[in-house]
Amino acid sequence: MSEGSKVLYTAKTHVSGGRENGVARSSDGRLDVRLGVPGTARIGTNPEQLFAAGWSACFESAIGLIVQKKRIKLDGDVAIDAEVDLNLSDADGYSLTARLNVSIPGVEHDVAQALIEEAHQICPYSKATRGNIDVSIRLV
């Protein structure tokens, strides 16, 4: 953490069983999900889905902060369709790639694109992934 920073919130979870047959629970009880392997018929979500949901929510909030700060009027809700791929290669083992498809209604294309680019600079998930995984963010 950089100097002058303060912790605003700490998420605490407990996972047992991993992605094979696991359970993830948050310390406050609001998250309680069964985990499963992607692409199987097993009941449960997988870490890639959780990551996609978390990043989308964070990215949308980043856009909201910018919209509020710049007093931009939207004609509807921002929507994000996230895709997170779990990859396996002989050379590198497991890795992730991600795509965020962002819809920002009621603003000109150039304004919407600028909002996406600025949000990508301030979103904590974007910062965490920058330079670590291949990411594509597209205005739809």
CATH number of residue 87's parent domain: 3.30.300.20
What is the maximum span of the chain, computed from C-alpha positions, in angstroms? 49
Residues 24 and 76 in one domain: no
For residue 2, tell me if it sits in a domain: no
Residues 54 and 123 in one domain: yes
* pLDDT tens string 64-118: 999 999 999 999 999 999 999 999 999 989 999 999 999 999 999 999 999 999 9
Q: Please count the structural domains in the chain.
A: 2
pTM of the full predicted structure? 0.91
Note whether 24 and 33 are within 8 A (CB): yes
Residues 19 and 61 in one domain: no
Average pLDDT (9-32) is 94
- In which domain, by residue range, is 128 found? 47-139
For residue 122, tell me if it sits in a domain: yes
* pLDDT tens string 43-52: 899 999 999 9
Residues 17 and 67 in one domain: no
Residues 59 and 40 in one domain: no
116/39 Cα distance (integer angstroms): 30
Residues 59 and 100 in one domain: yes
